[in-house]
Amino acid sequence: MATEPIDVPELAESNESAKERLLAAAEEIFADYGYEGASVRAICHRAGMNVAAVNYHFGDKETLYVEAVKRAHNCSDTKPVDDDDPTAPASVRLERFIRHMVAMMHEPASPSAMKLVVREMADPGKAAATLVDEFIRPIAFRLRALLQELQPHQTDEERLMTGFSIIGQCLYYRQNRRVSELIFGKPQVEALTVDMVADHVVRFTRNAIGLGERPA
């Protein structure tokens, strides 16, 4: 008689862990080399698995890429913003929003995850739609809502551009850090700490939208 068909959580978990390891490896390699530059071989090797692993677990390279990008945004620390105190004044919530954005761009919880996400956003591909739906749009809408509170008399277009001005400042440090270092020298740019940048963007933005200097 055959042994009883018992539940084998280990296998399922091992399977899960295999996919997880693969995704983690993919995140790093894709982040460093881009989609075309990354090789399935390199990813599998990094995950300590066989070359065929990617095709076995994900079907093909592209699917793995999409899954890796999806996973990457979950690893990004979006949550802290969610449990923001909704009772605080809008100007305070805007400041918190900016500080969170700057921090996320400056020192993301998972650098390679953020790198991968930014890469995909700069050159939107198959994974961009999901990314926007689950990761980017919520953030953008939160900012839009904030600006509606703060600038109810402005047009939608004005508020849209204001939002872009705020986000543009924050994104700059992630999207153009390397070039900035080439322009001004690495030390000059590295001297700008998260707090300094956050303070600056908050002040710059408050002035720009007429909130005036933040009370001490």
* 40 contributes a contact to DNA by CB under 7 A: yes
Q: Per CB under 7 A, which region of 8-16, 70-78, 128-136, 168-176 contacts DNA?
A: 8-16
Nearest to 43 by CA among 56, 17, 24, 63: 24
- From 20, 34, 62, 148, residue interacting with DNA (rule: CB under 7 A): 62
Q: Which is nearer to a copy of itself, 13 or 107 (CB)?
A: 107
CB of 36 to a copy of itself, least distance (A): 4
Contacts of 32 (CB under 8 A, 6+ apart): 38, 112, 115
Residue 46 interacts with DNA (CB under 7 A)?
no
Q: Which does 140 bind (CB under 5 to 8 A by kind): a copy of itself, DNA, none?
A: a copy of itself
User: For residue 28, what are the contacts with CB-CB under 8 A and spacing of at least 6?
Assistant: 46, 112
d(CA 134, CA 23) in angstroms, rounded, equals 18
Residue 126 engages DNA in binding (rule: CB under 7 A): no
Stretch that binds DNA, among 57-65, 74-82, 90-98, 104-112 (CB under 7 A): 57-65
Number of residues that make up the chain: 216
The amino acid sitting at 146 is L
Which one of residues 20, 34, 39, 149 is an interface residue with DNA (CB under 7 A)? Answer: 39
Q: Which of 153-156's residues contact partners 24+ apart within 8 Å by CB, and which partners?
A: none
